[in-house]
Amino acid sequence: MNELPRTPSFRLDGKRALVTGAGRGIGAAMAAALAEVGAAVTLVARSETEIETLAEAIRAAGGTASAQVLDVSDLDAVGAFFASADPFDVLVNNAGTNRPMPMQDVSEADFDAVIDLNVKAAFFVAQACAKHLIKAGKPGSFIHIGSQMGHVGGLNRSLYCASKWAIEGMNKAFALDLARHQIRSNTICPTFIETPLTKPFFEDASFKASVLEKIKLGRIGQVEDLMGAVVFLASDASALMTGSSLVIDGGWTAE
């Protein structure tokens, strides 16, 4: 009898993972997912209370987690942090912000706030992580949290779209630069996900209806909808995948 091929492991035992913007919502879910499959996860955010609480919850559930207060838009602090840490096998570039408004209302301060965090900080966090992996001669997996808005346009979303389309291009170029070092780079592109940040928006019945009209599966996304994707991209199950995107949008961009 021929030996059957075996599914590559989704486990991350012995791997170190870093999740930015890990205090709540999508970032917290990503950290929990990676810890559940064996990674030692470092939670990064500006709010110490949130990440310490989450790290404690992960440890209580049998996982390994630590909290690191860090403003990823402070590039000197980012450099100092990576210089003092062992290399991370997995990076989840999740920290981000949004200022929805018509393009004609966007100020320079709005532009800088969104682009500096969503693009500039993500770029240099990935660069710092890559440098340390390359120096150590280790492979890795970078996962950038993009958006369906990095594949389409959206009303009042000019700034957000600009940042998330930039993430898509950045990701593909990262994949090419880092392939010879066996460091992979991919994006996860969610639709609207219910989080503490977005939940108030869905209290507007007309806004919620407009979103549900576009999500063909007929429901708002939950953070759990993204947890399998981050495990897949972080693990050997996606070993030949780089420079690509997992669009988790309930059919929004299919139309």
Tell me the CB-side half-sphere exposure of residue 160, using CA atoms within 13 A: 22
The answer to whether the CB of 38 falls within 8 A of the CB of 50 is no
C-alpha distance from residue 159 to each of 155, 186, 234 (Å): 11, 22, 29
Nearest 5°: phi and psi at 39?
Answer: -75, 150
Long-range contacts of 170-176 (CB under 8 A, 24+ apart): 170/119, 170/122, 170/123, 170/144, 171/142, 171/144, 171/146, 171/243, 171/245, 172/243, 174/126, 174/130, 174/142, 174/243, 175/242, 175/243, 175/244, 176/243
Nearest 10 degrees: CA dihedral of 74, 130, 24, 70?
Answer: -30
Beta-carbon contacts of residue 181 (< 8 Å; ≥ 6 apart): 130, 133, 134, 139
Looking at the chain, the number of H-run helices and the number of E-run strands are: 8, 7
**Active-site residue list:** 160
DSSP 157: B
Look up residue 16 and give its two tokens: 């170190």
